[in-house]
C-alpha cells in the first residue's frame, strides 16, 4: 500500500530557489552570452581614410572592412579629379560598429551653373572680390581710355560681353575692361623699329599701351633676328595714339 507524502514548507522553498536560480541563469546567459555573440557586442572597426579615393574603388574597399558608404553632398573644383572623395564622416581613426555607413562629400564632374553677377559700373577691385565669391576666375584686365578710373566698363567671356544674370559655369574665366582715368589723352606713337622684342614690349607697357599681336617673319638682309621690323600703328612725326591702345609688332626670325 503506497503512502502519499506531502511537501513540507522547506521543500517548497527549495523548489522556488531552484526555479529562481534557473531563471537567473537564463537571463544572464541571454544578456552576457547570446546577445554579445549575435551582435558582436564590444567589437569595433577603425574607420579607414577614404578621402582622395575615387568613389568607384570604395565598394570593394569598404566591403572588405564590413563598412558601407553614402554620398550625401558634392562640390566642384577644377583642380580635383571628378568623383574624388573630399570629406568623410566619421573621420579616419574613429571606432564604429560593423556595417556603419560612412557619409561622403564628392567632387562633381561638371561645374554647377550660376547667374553671372553684375560687375559693370563698380570698381575693378570690387569686381575681383565678387568673382571670387561666385567661384569665378579673374581673367585679363584691359585698360582703356576713360575718365572713370578703375571702373569696370565691360565684362567679357571668351572675348564676348556677358550680361548680368546670364548662365555661367563656376570656374569660368571672366575678363574685365577697365577705365584708365586718362580719357582720350593722346601722345606720339613710340618708335619700336630695330628694338629687341622684349625691350619693345617693356616700352609699350611703360607708356600705358598694350601689346597686341606679335607676328614672326623671316629676317631680311640687314635685319637682326629677334628685333622689331614693323609695327602697327606706324611711327611717324604726326602719328598719335591713345592711352591703353593696342600695338601690333612684327619680329624678324
162 versus 34: the higher-pLDDT residue is 162
Which residue reads 556595417 in cell numbers? Answer: 99
pLDDT tens digits for range 65-110: 899 999 988 888 778 899 999 999 999 999 999 889 999 999 988 8
pLDDT surpassing 90 at residue 148 = no
Q: Are 48 and 88 in contact (CB under 8 A)?
A: no
Supply φ then ψ for residue 30, to 5 degrees. -65, -50
3-class secondary structure, 198: helix
3-class secondary structure, 197: helix
- Listed in sequence order, the residues at least 6 apart from 201 whose beta carbon sits closer than 8 Å to its beta carbon are 211, 249
In the 8-state DSSP scheme, what is residue 218? -
pTM of the shown model: 0.45
Amino acid at each position: 500500500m503506497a503512502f502519499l507524502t506531502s511537501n513540507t514548507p522547506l521543500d517548497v522553498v527549495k523548489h522556488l530557489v531552484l526555479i529562481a536560480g534557473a531563471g537567473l541563469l537564463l537571463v544572464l546567459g541571454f544578456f552576457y552570452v547570446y546577445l554579445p555573440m549575435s551582435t558582436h557586442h564590444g567589437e569595433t572597426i577603425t574607420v579607414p581614410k577614404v578621402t582622395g579615393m575615387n568613389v568607384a574603388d570604395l565598394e570593394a574597399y569598404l566591403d572588405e572592412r564590413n563598412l558601407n558608404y553614402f554620398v550625401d553632398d558634392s562640390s566642384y573644383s577644377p583642380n580635383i579629379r571628378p568623383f574624388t572623395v573630399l570629406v568623410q564622416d566619421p573621420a579616419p581613426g574613429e571606432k564604429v560598429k560593423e556595417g556603419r555607413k560612412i557619409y561622403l562629400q564628392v567632387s562633381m564632374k561638371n561645374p554647377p551653373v550660376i547667374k553671372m553677377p553684375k560687375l559693370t559700373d563698380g570698381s575693378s577691385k570690387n569686381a575681383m572680390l565678387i568673382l571670387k565669391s561666385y567661384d569665378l576666375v579673374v581673367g585679363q584686365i584691359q585698360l582703356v581710355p576713360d575718365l572713370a578710373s578703375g571702373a569696370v566698363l565691360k565684362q567679357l567671356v571668351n572675348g564676348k560681353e556677358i550680361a548680368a544674370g546670364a548662365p555661367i559655369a563656376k570656374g569660368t574665366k571672366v575678363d574685365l575692361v577697365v577705365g584708365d582715368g586718362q580719357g582720350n589723352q593722346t601722345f606720339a606713337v613710340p618708335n619700336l623699329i630695330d628694338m629687341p622684342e622684349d625691350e619693345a614690349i617693356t616700352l609699350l607697357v611703360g607708356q600705358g599701351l598694350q601689346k597686341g599681336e606679335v607676328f614672326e617673319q623671316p629676317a631680311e638682309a640687314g635685319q637682326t633676328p629677334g628685333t622689331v621690323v614693323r609695327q602697327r600703328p606706324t611711327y611717324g612725326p604726326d602719328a598719335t595714339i591713345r592711352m591703353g591702345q593696342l600695338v601690333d609688332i612684327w619680329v624678324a626670325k
